[in-house]
Amino acid sequence: MNHSEHPLRLGLIGFGCVGQGFYDIIEQQPGLGLAVARIAVKSPNKPRTLPPDRFTYHADDLLHDPTLDVLVEVIDDAAEAFRLVSTALRQGRRVVTANKAMLARHLPELVQLEQEFGGTLLYEAAVCGSIPVVRTLDSYFSHEPLRAVRGIFNGSSNYVLTRMSEAGSDYATALAEAQVQGFAETDPLLDMGAFDPRSKAVILAAHAYGAFLNPDEVLNLGIEAVGAADIAYAAARGQKVKVVASVERLPNGRVAALVTPQLLGPESPLYAVEQEFNGIIIDAEYAGAQFLAGRGAGGHPTGSAVLADVLALRRGHRYGYARRAAAPAAQLTEGLELDAYVSHPDAGVLREVLTWLELPPDALHPDSAHPYATGPVALQQLWAWRKELRAAGIFVARRGAVRTVADAVPAHAEVAAVA
């Protein structure tokens, strides 16, 4: 078929980094048979690369335009994105979104709207930029049991850790450099506090295990308190600090999800993932471990994932969510523990933290220049004190696998059902 004779008419909502990148890719490939017919943006005063008459300033205009074949939503506002995407699905429209925070919070409802009104929603660009992990899990591994899906899901924090490791920068200097490079926002909390990879882990849990998790119940610990001494501690042991998000099947059959800094050695493929790159390990029961790596952010890499979804919609593709009917329960904090590394420049502060985390006093290593402690910590304690740990500037990293604690009853055993 010659697509140029009947080009797919697209309505693009948002023209920031991703929207601009997606538009550029389409303009450079006229043979795709795609036309960005209308573009909606929020501010009429922002300088843009296209003339003003190419834009409308009311996204609802695109919702009310029946000549548009596909709506592409690439804005930052999660609440507005949900309003637009949910309205479009109620109209039975075909929609592509890149908004991971919105999806993590509303995925069960959006899937239900798809089923009820006959629309289609694809969102490869919401997870790890150019890496095709959502469709890989949903299609290729739809019926193979998975042991785990884990990886580096945030390029901003990975860039900061790389600069601290390679250049000897402190956290503030590395973060400022990431912001200048455009890898980190002016308000870095979503990235450095590991809220962004938490959203992505929640989305992948739906495709890896059929589990629709509440992001507010998934523990995420960031790198705001990481220091040069922590990087040096890891390096002295042949390791690097990486923020790792994991969704995994526990020995009891339940699903655990967690995002924390982790000390990794060269035996892990994630050890070599540097700068703003992302890496994902899919550990399958029969196929074994598969490793995917690529650019996790940026206009053109993420725009390429948006394009892949648009072309998939033209072919009639939709996610199957094959595992949701037999989704396991989630065990997110209680009954789990990990081997932790905990540090703070002030040994007195650290001694107080040991009581919070129920670590014995002898877990504190007597290095006055670099006070730190190691030992088994219950995830429930990290969960209970997560805000206090962040406020006190405590750095926490895991040193190994999550373990189940015998005879513990999970508090988070419910999985949101999707009709």
Active site residues: 200
Cβ 392 vs Cβ 353: under 8 Å: yes
* Euclidean distance between CA atoms 154 and 276, whole angstroms: 8
CA–CA gap between residue 256 and residue 106 (Å, rounded): 20
Interatomic CA distance for residues 399 and 402, integer angstroms: 9
User: Residue 17: which of 297, 311, 308, 295 has the closest Cα?
Assistant: 297
> Could you give the residue ranges of the DSSP H alpha helices within 168-250?
171-181, 189-192, 195-208, 228-236
Structure tokens at 185: 């926002």
- The separation between the first and the last C-alpha atoms of the chain, rounded to the nearest angstrom, is 37
Point out which residues pair with 288 in neighbouring strands.
284
Q: Which residues contact 29 (CB under 8 A, 6 or more apart)?
A: none
Residue at token pair 């967690």: 258
